[in-house]
């Protein structure tokens, strides 16, 4: 949680708008905390570094080149570069927020008796007998080809909290899937 101490009249006007019944001295802003593996967080930081140190200067050069071509009021190249700059800055801002609210999970501190984030789960489809293994990760780390599914996916949500031997009845776009939890590991 982040707390902002507010002292100005404008801030109190904002608080009165947020909380019309009371006039609090503190405003709490809840940020969405996301959990990552050390590798996943490193990947996010590398992407942010690339956007700031490679993409941002590139767009600045494009804007400068378009500006040098003359009248800005009819310069589509300039407009496109400015729009690209705005989208890039938005992406950088969002990525900075994600990283600021990211938490690295210590697998040694997690309960391996039930399915949770970073659990590697072996499942058996009750209908067709197919066995599959997935690791539950955050949305940004999900990669079905690598066997990593998001905890926010229908299957991920349906598995959370389940223990070995339990069945999970999961509603997916193609219908209902019955999965038996065969094994849970923290790798």
What are 35-91's pLDDT values in tens digits? 788 888 899 999 999 999 999 999 999 988 888 877 777 778 888 888 999 999 999
The alpha helices in 3-162, defined as continuous H runs, are: 9-18, 38-50, 56-68, 76-100, 154-159
CATH architecture of the domain 107-186 equals Roll (3.10)
The domain limits of the chain are 1-30, 34-104, 107-186
Average predicted confidence (pLDDT) for the chain: 81
Answer with the residue of higher pLDDT: 17 or 186.
186
Tell me the pLDDT tens digit for each residue of 17-39. 444 444 444 444 456 777 788 88
Query: Cα–Cα distance between 74 and 34 in angstroms, integer?
Result: 44
Query: Cα–Cα distance between 157 and 161 in angstroms, integer?
Result: 9
Tell the CATH topology of 34-104: Helix Hairpins (1.10.287)
Model pTM score: 0.62
34-104 matches 107-186 in fold: no
């Amino acid at each position: 949680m982040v707390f902002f101490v507010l002292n100005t009249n404008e801030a109190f006007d904002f608080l009165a708008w947020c909380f019309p019944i009371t006039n609090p001295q503190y405003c709490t802003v809840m940020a969405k905390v996301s959990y990552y593996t050390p590798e996943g967080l490193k990947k996010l930081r590398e992407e942010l570094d690339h956007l700031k140190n490679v993409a941002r200067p590139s767009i600045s050069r494009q804007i400068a080149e378009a500006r040098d071509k003359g009248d800005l009021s009819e310069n589509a190249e300039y407009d496109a570069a400015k729009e690209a700059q705005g989208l890039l800055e938005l992406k950088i801002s969002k990525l900075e927020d994600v990283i600021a609210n990211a938490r690295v999970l210590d697998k040694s501190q997690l309960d391996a008796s039930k399915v949770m984030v970073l659990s590697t789960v072996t499942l058996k489809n009750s209908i067709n007998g197919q066995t599959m293994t997935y690791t539950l990760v955050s949305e940004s780390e999900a990669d079905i080809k690598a066997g990593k599914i998001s905890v926010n996916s229908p299957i991920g949500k349906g598995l959370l909290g389940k223990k070995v031997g339990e069945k999970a009845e999961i509603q997916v776009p193609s219908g209902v899937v019955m999965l038996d939890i065969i094994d849970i590991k923290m790798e």
